[in-house]
A and B are shown apart, each in its own frame.
Chain A
Amino acid sequence: MKMPAPDAALIARKGEIVRALSRIVPGEGVVSAPAALVPFESDGLSAYRQTPIAVVLPETTAQVSEILRWCQANGVKVVPRGAGTSLSGGALPLADSVVLGLSKFNRVLEVDYPNRCAVVQPGVTNLGVTAAVADRGFYYAPDPSSQIACTIGGNVAENSGGVHCLKYGLTTNNLLGCELVLMSGEVVRLGGKTLDAEGYDLLGLVTGSEGLLGVVTEVMVRILPKPETAMALLLGFETVEGAAATVGDIIAAGVIPAGLEMMDNPAIRAAEAFVGVGYPVDAAALLIVELDGPEAECAELVGHVERLAAARGANFLKTSTSEAERLAFWAGRKAAFPAVGRIAPDYFCMDGTIPRGRLPQVLARIAELSAEYGLGVANVFHAGDGNLHPLILYDADIPGQLERAEAFGADILKLCVAVGGVLTGEHGVGVEKRDLMPEMFDPTDLACQQRVKCAFDPGLLLNPGKVFPVLHRCAELGRVHVHRGKLAFPELPRF
């Protein structure tokens, strides 16, 4: 993984840069001592580390605006950062960059129940949004597993999902508006309390843009009334095929569960050893199905799902009988990553999405690759929407294993694309999948995306080295390709 070559002249200007930032954010708002920069070297993708020139922690939109304006005028690269939980290296600093941390933007500004929305600062955690509205029976639907720590600003940047997005959508489907500061320092407001926005849907464009288009300084989210009841089922299968077929049957029966998760045997064992919630450790695959709504609906659908699972050979079947038990069913799944962290020193989490019908084939191929690379793999899977999370186990202290794990991961993602899927379902491209983008997109596709980048940040100063494998200068991309010469379709009527 190569980052853009750092600009030594810029790094040499550290003193001047720190002074300028300190003028904008006085007090303790600028971090520049080498030891104090260590916590900002990496994010959730801990395989990669880089110390930035400095970290700046503004508290107001005006400060963010001034920082970006100064950095643009002085050619300084900026890497925005929320809680730093990105699994794709979205907040990985560059040696010649300033990290702009939004951790001090941590207030809930407004809850508007009649219009079912909350206005929060980007540093509020995902769970913090729900906490702010829970006493009135509301919640914020997207629930990435890192929701205790990850921030709503980071969720906007990554278009984060979670186990409930099958029914309730990703971040993009639950956002109403935001305040965005452009690299020029200009502040724009996108969307609002209305359902549809005016003009081009820049809110939709910015969501999931991985911090490359602007810095979000305020977020307006949709909040939902909590479902009356929620029940979860654990379904154990002797074969992966049986579990996969059951997922297809559930959807085909017209049931969209609130959550529909699958774990393979290594993941079941790791999770059970970690939390001990009664998962069937001998099963080849485990489904966790959550159904929510009125009690009458849950009862009917639970029976329906149980029958479908039994018909596909489920030999372990357990339905939650209390809220505590439902949460226990989820505890293993939500702790799958740390659980796997206990059985291997390091792991990479892949994030491809595939057409669900290809699951048995893809899992079989992943098992073959695991043997070929000599690295273990545990699979957790947002089965309902086809989003795979193979966890590749390796030991970074053993020479060569990191590179082997990277190559294994790349093979899995290429496989996802080859069967009609995509590189990333919810974690983002970041640096991790950046060089695989040509697997999905040809140079013209990428040029179209980069021109959008140029419309927001013509100097390419915001979060460089992420998402795009090759960065073209905006002037070069801006040239209009004029189609001359022989007509491609002479038989077509002409004007």
Chain B
Amino acid sequence: MLDTAIKVLKPTTADEVEAIVAEAGATARRIEVIGGGTKRAIGQMDPVDIVLSTQRLDRILDYAPDELVLTVQPGVRLADIEKLVAARGQMLAFEPPHLTRLLGARGEPTIGGVLGANLSGPRRVRAGAARDHFLGFAGVSGRGEVFKAGGKVVKNVTGYDLMKLMAGAWGTLAVLTEVTLKVLPAPRTETTLLLFGLADVRAAEAMTLAMNGPFEVSGAAHLPAFAAQAAPLKAEMAVTALRLEGCEASVAARAAGLAAALKGFGRIDTLDPEHSKAFWAQVREVEAFVGDPRPLWRLSLPPAVGWRGPHGLPGDALYDWAGGLACLLTEEPAEKVRAVAASLGGHALCLRGGPAFASRQGPLGALQDRVKAAFDPLGVLNPGRMDGAA
């Protein structure tokens, strides 16, 4: 898959992308589409003839902070966007993870890659996913046609919402050449409440209680003891963390209310804004699993029962999204991991050490195949990337 002999093309305009894709279609060649290439090892890829990198599609086209919109080319580095919007007191509210260290990757993630993988961080529970902040795009379909969808305003229902389709399509439908995102004001301050020594099931109860009250929790994670040992916590037991963000008066009031509601769960500590930031960056990047070679999974599960997933699968797990996301290191066979997730009404994405996706089946699988064919009937783009194990 990572055959270095394959030529890497780095187009600088949408027209160049169109020419490359159209010609590939006409000559029965296949293209791997990459941004920074940091998530390249996720999933499998059939052999390709060309690598198309969006790295030189790297211009910031329009940033209108007052309109809450940002239009960029997909090759702009995530870190650069974060810096740009932070300078105006704004943020990408879905808190995209970089995962570079976790995946042992080199290079820098791009915004196109983040959208292609629909990756969201801890604030997912409150602010939504990458797909919820994706307002419009231009791109080149697998047919080699330039097209666009959506708009450059925050509220729009004109035509099909193809942004949702592109988010999480892993580059299998189109090569994006321009994307418009919704940005939001960054919170003025934050704090994190910590609970200690809770078993996974109790932690799930605490997180549910916090999420179901009027506290506007913007991060709810549970780290078992092995993961809570790292800085900045250096705890010797499991830690359950609940983040509150907003203006000072609001955060203080909600912290008091939440602490009162959680009285039955034992001692409560709080993290100041600086340590809170550092802590959630670790959760977002799954730092506790960096350097561990075991197969790595993201289990998406109904939050209240999320803890049950890893309990059916020997290995180590961390919980984010109030229990709705379990990051799991396990040697169990992929079929078993998927079966456990499915039995709870969820699903599993393998980040390393196995096929990333489940195979498509039944009428829904056939429908997904028809959607793929609508954009890329010849299978030019990222062949096999979203296919499951045979």
Task: With CB as the reference atom, state the residue of chain A lying closest to B149.
Answer: A445
**Which residues of B sit under 8 angstroms from A300, Cβ to Cβ?**
247, 249-250
**Which residues of B sit under 8 angstroms from A166, Cβ to Cβ?**
154
From A186, A193, A293, B363 is in contact (CB under 8 Å) with A186
Considering the chains assembled together, what is the distance between the CA atoms of A421 and B152 in angstroms?
Answer: 7
- Evaluate whether A424 and B156 lie within 8 angstroms (CB atoms) in the complex, with A115-B303, A299-B249 already known: yes
Task: With CB as the reference atom, state the residue of chain B lying closest to A492.
Answer: B16
Q: Could you show 24 A-B contacts with beta carbons less than 8 Å apart? A: A116-B212, A169-B128, A170-B155, A193-B346, A196-B300, A198-B357, A200-B168, A201-B118, A204-B161, A208-B161, A251-B66, A254-B186, A297-B246, A300-B249, A386-B67, A422-B153, A424-B158, A425-B156, A427-B157, A428-B157, A441-B148, A448-B162, A452-B371, A482-B25
CB distance from B184 to the nearest CB of A (A): 7
Considering the chains assembled together, what is the distance between the CA atoms of A193 and B309 in angstroms?
Answer: 14
Q: Is the CB of B161 within 8 A of A159?
A: yes
**Which residues of B sit under 8 angstroms from A297, Cβ to Cβ?**
246-247, 249-250, 253
From B89, B120, B151, A440 is in contact (CB under 8 Å) with B151
**Which residues of B sit under 8 angstroms from A353, Cβ to Cβ?**
151, 153-156
Q: Is the CB of B345 within 8 A of A194?
A: yes
Q: Does B375 contact A (CB under 8 A)?
A: yes
CB distance from B90 to the nearest CB of A (A): 8
Q: Which of B99-107, B139-147, B194-202, B281-289 lies at the interface with chain A?
A: B139-147
Consensus secondary structure, chain A interface: loop
Q: Is the CB of B368 within 8 A of A199?
A: yes
CB distance from A91 to the nearest CB of B (A): 16
Considering the chains assembled together, what is the distance between the CA atoms of A194 and B347 in angstroms?
Answer: 8
Q: Does B378 contact A (CB under 8 A)?
A: yes
From A202, A294, A425, A488, B250 is in contact (CB under 8 Å) with A294
Task: With CB as the reference atom, state the residue of chain A lying closest to B362.
Answer: A188
Most chain B beta carbons < 10 A, residue from A161, A225, A446: A225
CB distance from B363 to the nearest CB of A (A): 4
- State which residues 57-92 of B face A: CB under 8 Å: 64-69, 89
Q: Does B2 contact A (CB under 8 A)?
A: no
Most chain B beta carbons < 10 A, residue from A356, A446, A480: A480
**Which residues of B sit under 8 angstroms from A493, Cβ to Cβ?**
7, 9
Most chain B beta carbons < 10 A, residue from A192, A251, A297: A297
Q: Does A149 contact B (CB under 8 A)?
A: no
Task: With CB as the reference atom, state the residue of chain B lying closest to A203.
Answer: B164
- State which residues 3-43 of B face A: CB under 8 Å: 7, 9, 11, 15-16, 18-20, 22-26, 29
Q: Is the CB of B213 within 8 A of A225?
A: yes
0 or 1 for each of A434-450: is its CB under 8 Å from B? (1 = yes): 00010011101111110
Known contacts A198-B349, A427-B157, A444-B147, then 8 further A-B pairs from the complex at CB < 8 Å, ordered by chain A residue: A194-B300, A194-B302, A199-B386, A200-B371, A252-B66, A300-B247, A357-B67, A488-B16
Q: Does B165 contact A (CB under 8 A)?
A: yes
CB distance from A54 to the nearest CB of B (A): 27
Q: Is the CB of A356 within 8 A of B124?
A: no
Task: With CB as the reference atom, state the residue of chain A lying closest to B360.
Answer: A199
Q: Is the CB of A201 within 8 A of B164?
A: yes
**Which residues of A sit under 8 angstroms from B145, Cβ to Cβ?**
444, 447-448, 481
Task: Give chain A's interface residues, CB within 8 Å of chain B.
Answer: 112-116, 137-138, 158-159, 161, 165-166, 169-170, 172-173, 182, 186-190, 192-205, 207-209, 225-228, 248, 251-252, 254-256, 293-297, 299-301, 353-357, 382, 385-387, 420-429, 433, 437, 440-442, 444-449, 451-456, 467, 478, 480-484, 487-489, 492-495
**Which residues of A sit under 8 angstroms from B249, Cβ to Cβ?**
294, 296-297, 299-300
Task: With CB as the reference atom, state the residue of chain B lying closest to A483.
Answer: B22
Q: Is the CB of A488 within 8 A of B18?
A: yes
**Which residues of A sit under 8 angstroms from B64, Cβ to Cβ?**
355, 357
**Which residues of A sit under 8 angstroms from B131, Cβ to Cβ?**
201, 204
CB distance from A248 to the nearest CB of B (A): 5
CB distance from A390 to the nearest CB of B (A): 16
Task: With CB as the reference atom, state the residue of chain B lying closest to A223.
Answer: B212
CB distance from A229 to the nearest CB of B (A): 9
- Evaluate whether A449 and B162 lie within 8 angstroms (CB atoms) in the complex, with A198-B347, A297-B249, A483-B26 already known: yes
**Which residues of A sit under 8 angstroms from B66, Cβ to Cβ?**
248, 251-252, 356-357
**Which residues of A sit under 8 angstroms from B364, Cβ to Cβ?**
188-190, 199, 202
Considering the chains assembled together, what is the distance between the CA atoms of A189 and B361 in angstroms?
Answer: 12
Q: Is the CB of B118 within 8 A of A487?
A: no
- Evaluate whether A356 and B156 lie within 8 angstroms (CB atoms) in the complex, with A492-B9, A493-B9 already known: no
Q: Is the CB of B159 within 8 A of A449?
A: yes
From B11, B155, B305, A387 is in contact (CB under 8 Å) with B155
From A116, A256, A446, A455, B370 is in contact (CB under 8 Å) with A455
Q: Is the CB of A386 within 8 A of B216?
A: no
Interchain residue pairs A-B with the least CB separation, the first 5: A204-B164, A483-B22, A297-B250, A254-B185, A114-B304
Considering the chains assembled together, what is the distance between the CA atoms of A299 and B248 in angstroms?
Answer: 12
Q: Does B377 contact A (CB under 8 A)?
A: yes
Considering the chains assembled together, what is the distance between the CA atoms of A427 and B360 in angstroms?
Answer: 34
From A382, A448, A478, B377 is in contact (CB under 8 Å) with A478
Considering the chains assembled together, what is the distance between the CA atoms of A108 and B374 in angstroms?
Answer: 36
**Which residues of B sit under 8 angstroms from A226, Cβ to Cβ?**
214
CB distance from A65 to the nearest CB of B (A): 11
Task: With CB as the reference atom, state the residue of chain A lying closest to B49.
Answer: A495
**Which residues of A sit under 8 angstroms from B9, Cβ to Cβ?**
492-493, 495
CB distance from A103 to the nearest CB of B (A): 24
Considering the chains assembled together, what is the distance between the CA atoms of A422 and B158 in angstroms?
Answer: 7
**Which residues of B sit under 8 angstroms from A197, Cβ to Cβ?**
168
Q: Does B301 contact A (CB under 8 A)?
A: yes
Task: With CB as the reference atom, state the residue of chain A lying closest to B205.
Answer: A114
Q: Is the CB of B26 within 8 A of A201?
A: no
Task: With CB as the reference atom, state the residue of chain B lying closest to A428.
Answer: B157
Q: Is the CB of B26 within 8 A of A482?
A: yes
